[in-house]
Structure formats: C-alpha cells, structure tokens
Amino acid sequence: MRAMALSAGQPELSLPTMYAAYNLERDDPFMDRDYNLCVLCGRCWRICEKIHGKPAISIINRGKWARIGTAFNKSHVFSGCTFCGACIDICPTGTLTDRFARWQGKPEAETGSACILCPQGCAVVAQSKNQRLLAYTMPAFNRDASLCALGRFGAAQMVNSNQRTTRPQVREGEDLIPYDWDAALKAAATGLKEHAGKIAFVISATSSREERYLYAQLATALKGQMHLVPAHALPGDPTLTTIQEAIHGQGALALLMNGPLLGGVEQSRMAFSLVIDALHSDSSEQASVVLPAAMLSENSGTFRSSTGEIRQLSACSQAPGDARAEWRILRDLGQTLGLDGFSYTKVEDITRALDNAVGEDAAPPAMTGDPRHNVRELITTYRGHQVADIVPALAAFGLPQRSMIQEESTAGSDNGFPILEKKEIVPNMHFFKIQAPQVAKFALPGQFVILMARETSERSPFTLVDWDADTGTISLVIEEVGRSSRELASLRAGDMLAHVSGPLGQAMPVEKRGTVLLGGGCYGVGAIYPLARALKQAGNRVICGIEASSSYLLYMQDELTQVSDQLILATKDGSEGVRGGVQEILVQTAEREQVDQFIAIGCTFMMRMTTELSRGLNIPTLVALNPIMVDGTGMCGACRVSIGGDTLFACIDGPLFDGHAVDWDELASRRSAYAPQEIQALSQGVDLSALMHQAHGPTDTHQCGCGR
C-alpha cells in the first residue's frame, strides 16, 4: 500500500488524521491486534471465509466506528477461529501481527519445506532471518494449504525455545557432564556395544525418512528391536503399552530414544540409555548419554505424510550450540561403532539409498481429526514433549501442560503496592498511579523508581512523572517495549506491585537559568513534566517541546501547558504542530530567542541527535540516560556510562548528565546488547482466567461472549 501511494505521485495528503483510539488487543493466543492501523480493506475476513467456509471475523459496528472484530466481541478462542494465521499473513497494514515474529523484523528468506509436528506433514513456507526461524506460513491462500495453530505459530517458538539441548552430555556418577562430540559418541558407542542384542530403539513417527532409515540400520547391526511411536500417542495409549510389553519380552537392557517417548520408570530399569533429542526433558535427565539434535526447520531430508505423499524438508535455520542434524548424529554413531554402510556425506545420499532399498517405507499412522480446521483437535505432544509446555499459549485450547511453571501473582494480595489507576493513554504508553507513601514523601524532580510486578520479576527503572506526598501516590508513564514493561502493562487497577524501590538517582539541580527548553519523546513526554514544573516555580521561562510519529500518539498536552510558558508540538507526519521532531523544535526556538538550557528525555536516538544540534548552537544540554540497570544502587555496575572519559553509574550519578560529554556509541551498544534475549523473554502465554470469564462457567448454556 505504501508503494502504491508513493507511485501515485502524491506523497502528502491534506486530510486530517482521525484516530479511533482503540486499545491494543493482546488477550488471545499468538496474535496482537491494533485496529487503529486498520483501513477496512476486508482482506482478513474474506480470506478467513475463503479458507474455512465461514469467517470467524467480519466488519462490526457502523459508520466511523466500523472495524474488524468477532461477533459480540468474543475472544477469538470462542469465535470459531482456527488460528491458521491467514488473516495475519494477508493484512497489508500491520493491524494483525504474529506476537512472536513481529519483534524479529522482516524475514530475509522464504524456503519451501514441510512441517513434521504431526503425521499430516503440511507444506509450508519457512520464513527466516539471520538463520533463525521466524514463522511457518501457508504456501497458498486456500483450504488445502492451510495450517494448524501449532504449525503456524508454535513451530518457531519451539525451534527458538530456551529449553533446547545444546551440548552433548555423558553421565559420570549422579551428574551429566558436558563432553565434546567425539568423546560423547565414543561413550554412546561403548554403551550400545556392551548391550548388543538387548537394545530397544524407540523412535517417533515424526522422524524423517532418512532418520528412520538410519535408525533401522543401527537396530539391524546391533540386533536390536525398533519400535515406532505414533505422533499422537499419549501415556496409556495402547500402542505404548504394546511397545513396553515387547521391550520386556525382549529382555532389553539398553534403550535408545529420540525423545521422552516412554515413561521414566521404564527408562530407569535400563542399564544404559541414549537420548537423541532437541529439547530438554526428564528422559534426558535420566539418560546415560544425551546427544543434542537439530529439529524442524534445521533439518533437510524427506518426510512421508500419513497420506503417503513424500514431502521435501529444507533447512533454513541454524541449530543452537553444538546441536547437529539427527541423520548426521546417526551416521557418526555408526562410524564410531565401526559399522559398514554409514559413510554418507550428505543427506541426499541417504535419500538415494532409501529409495533404492528393498523394504517397507511405511507412512506414519494417521491422527484422528483435522487440527487445521478445528483448533480443539491439535496434537498434544511432539516426540513425547507436551507442546503446551514449550508453547504456553496452547493451553488456551485445552492442551495439557506437564511442567508449566506457575508465576506467583501478587494481584489481590494484601502485601505490595496497590495500583490505584491504570490506563493506556496512547498505544503502548501506560499511565500508572501507585500507592507508595515513602517514595512520594521524598521524591524530587529527575529521580526514578524501580518496579517489580511480581516477586520473580525483573527490576525495571521508570522515571517519576508526578507524586503527591499528602496522598502518598506516585505517577509513572511506562512504554511497553519488552518483557518487563509488558508484564507491568498487563496489570489492572486494583492489582498489587510486588516492589517499588525509590526514589533513586540524583535530583535535577533546580535554579534560575533563564529560558529553558525541555524536549520529550515517547516515555520522555511524561518524564519532562516534573522538571518543567520545578523550573517554572524557580522563575525560569519554560518551553516544552514534545514529539510523536503522529498526532494521535501525543499525550499530556494539557498538563504540560499548565507548567510551561509555551508548549510546542511536533509530529513526523506533520499531522499536528511542527513537521519533524524535537530537533526541529530546538532549531526553530534557538532562531527565535536565546535558549539558556536544553534538557532532552526520550529514546537514545533523539537525545543523541538533539545533543549534536545543541553543541553547534552552544547551548548547555542535559540528557536523562537509560542504560541497562539491575539493582539501582550502584552495586552491580550494569548501568555504567562514559561521561567525558570518566566511568559513572546512571543509577547513583545520574540519570541526568551533560549530553555533550556522553559516549553515545558505547551507550547505544550497551543498550542493544541483550535485545535478542529480551525478545526471547517476551511472554507468549495468555490469561486463561480471562478467557474462561468469556466462556462463562461450565453450567452456562449460552456462549455469547458477553463476559457476564
């Protein structure tokens, strides 16, 4: 759409921006929705209707309030949505986004492959960036090419999970010790040789054809028995019972599995167990040797679906740590054992050998139901792992979770700091009023507090926007940018914060300087408010300049007007005030009158750009730095910054510093050091209690979604 607008030769429109101020919707699994970006093209609901016969979403309301939504504003979980992701993939404006992939940026490559999370083996387009899987998407917008929720949204989360096994390990006594590959393979080969003829090979049906072929070759060479576990088999399944009985009848003393496919009791009976797996599990904890394997988008080869069709698998992402492709592990294990027929150099060699082999290359057992068109029929395990343990949002569809760690919530507790008021004032900007008497009693302009939403949360610093010592309240504006801020943004009025520490940092020196210009952007719009108020009371002429991408993202105009002599607005799109940002406000103000002091608070880029301008204008400049911070009291050193060649701590020496002395390159580098980890840490879960509230109680007969 942007390209079409630019090609039309009329990049500017004189039409006013009409902002509907819809709240961002994050309550459903896997997707975020910002209907402020919607242009009502209708592509989302039309593709939903095309693929599934009847749309889960449509245009609701009338006139200027028309928007896309579900009937009666029900949760998508109860609207008939299958979470195939087609609406997200076809949306041209970013109104609908994949909650996991949206933070990774635009994909650099799209690779045709297949999803092998279940026997259907659906064709997919694997989107990747920097050899990292972002998402599986459907290869075409039609019913036959649609994907289930697990394949569309869960695969990328599983591949990028922090539960991945990354190093070979060998048991020494009670402990698993990391080994290099050569030593680990020797340990595995030794254990298998000692129990040749008494080895049970228990393999998932979601293994590729090449992997199954090599497992079968190993089983034949070592005179073991190979058992194939259906993808949909759960504990107590007759197939698993039959396999366990066969293992007992065989008198097996060693076990080789590519996942936690059997119970821990069965594994504990073995003298030796080798687990080749991509994910950590109780089985790997009990194993004699653990070998880390690649999974899904990290593997190449072929897969025979339950319908008998052979799908091509194409690797498009890199396995973490020392993990290797499973076929390569099996080849190396065979060579370490000294077996013939394991001299393959690439997976295509195995494919050719498999195609020429005489024997059965059977399709895996089919599963009941079709999860692509009924989200309640999703497969619950992948190679023995409960998928909802790895992709927690799947619990919204009733998938069981074996080991989900429940975070202890302080909401409703008598201990903590009450949230008196909480509202999203503009998209991603949240206003909080918190009861914190000791902080309010001693707070000064320029100081900050550290919040913890729960006892197990990270400590996150936020600048004080306002406080009232008489009522014992403090006010903050929190921009939602990562895990901690999203966790705080999910709280509501009436909830409790586990901890509020402060006031911290050095207060701004308040003195009469003459004309003071304060520039604020993003969270800094709220942060300059107490500074402007104090400077105004000290007799200064105070000018506040605030910026935003568009007029609907501006906030606190009335409050800033009351504490300044002049308020100047700037928007990047020119929808209100000066076209541009705080840089333009600074230049125009300096041309009009003398500026004796400039203070900038906002993103690092804005503060850096305005500081370079003020240096040329010879205007003394203060900036509020926001490096990574942990304890906030000077003990950890995480927030160190270089100011004029000296190393200072933002928490006890700042946060306000001479902007002309800041080492901006170092600051930017340190702030971005943990950006990938911050994205990885973002919660992908959903509020199950809120969803159940929409679903009414078990005795209700109506499912209108009104929430009553």
670-684, pLDDT tens digit by residue? Answer: 877 666 666 666 666
Tokens (6 digits) for 555: 């906030």
Give pLDDT, residue 692: 46
> Pairing between strand 646-649 and 640-643?
antiparallel
pLDDT band of 364, cuts 50, 70, 90: confident
* Cβ 525 vs Cβ 569: under 8 Å: no
Range with the poorest average pLDDT among 482-486, 639-643, 647-651 = 482-486
Q: Which residues of 625-665 form beta strands (DSSP E)?
A: 640-643, 646-649, 656-658
pLDDT of 380 strictly over 60: yes
Judged against a pLDDT cut of 50, whether residue 594 lies above it is answered with yes
Which amino acid is located at 573 in the chain?
Answer: D
* Confidence grade of residue 179 (pLDDT, cut at 50, 70, 90): very high
- Mean pLDDT across the stretch 357-374? 81
| Higher per-residue pLDDT: 365 or 560 | 560
Distance, C-alpha 447 to centroid of its chain: 31
190-219 per-position pLDDT tens digit = 999 999 999 999 999 999 999 999 999 999
For the cut 70, the answer to whether the pLDDT of residue 540 exceeds it is yes
State the first-to-last Cα distance of the chain, in angstroms, to the nearest integer: 40
- What pLDDT sits at residue 295? 95
Q: Are 175 and 253 in contact (CB under 8 A)?
A: no
Dihedral angle of Cα 387, 391, 394, 399, to the nearest 10 degrees: 30
Q: Which is nearest to 525 in space by CA: 388, 408, 426?
A: 426
What's the token pair of residue 117?
A: 């999370």
User: Phi-psi region for residue 615, left (φ > 0), alpha (ψ -120 to 50) or beta?
Assistant: alpha
Q: Tell me which residue has tokens 């002429």.
A: 541
pLDDT at 333 over 80: yes
Judge whether residue 405 has pLDDT over 50.
Answer: no
Q: What is the mean pLDDT of residues 520-527?
A: 93
Task: List, for residues 414-433, the tens digit of each pLDDT value.
Answer: 578 999 999 989 888 999 99
- Percentage of the chain exceeding pLDDT 70: 90
For 628, phi then psi, to 5°, come to -60, 135
* pLDDT average, residue stretch 565-592: 94
Cα distances (angstroms) measured from residue 635 to each of 255, 447, 503, 631, 674: 50, 18, 16, 7, 20
pLDDT at 409 over 90: no
Decide: helix, strand or coil at residue 261: coil
Q: What is the pLDDT of residues 455-488, one digit of tens each?
A: 888 888 999 999 999 999 999 999 988 778 888 8
Q: Is the pLDDT of residue 570 over 80?
A: yes
The residue assigned the tokens 């390569």 is: 328
Mean pLDDT rounded to a whole number for the chain: 88
Residues 6+ apart with CB under 8 A from 67: 20, 22, 35, 38, 40, 59, 60, 61
- Say which residue, 35 or 13, is predicted with more confidence: 35
Binned at pLDDT 50, 70 and 90, residue 404 comes out as very low
pLDDT of residue 107: 92
* Count helices and strands in the chain by DSSP H and E runs: 22, 34
pLDDT at 696: 41
Residue 104 has pLDDT above 90, yes or no: no
Rounded CA separation 326/259 (Å): 12
The 3-class secondary structure across 431-461, one letter per residue, is EEEEECHHHHHHCCCCCEEEEECCCCCCCEE
Q: Residue 301 — pLDDT band, cuts 50, 70, 90?
A: very high
List, for residues 251-300, the tens digit of each pLDDT value. Answer: 899 999 999 998 777 888 899 999 999 999 999 999 999 999 999 999 99
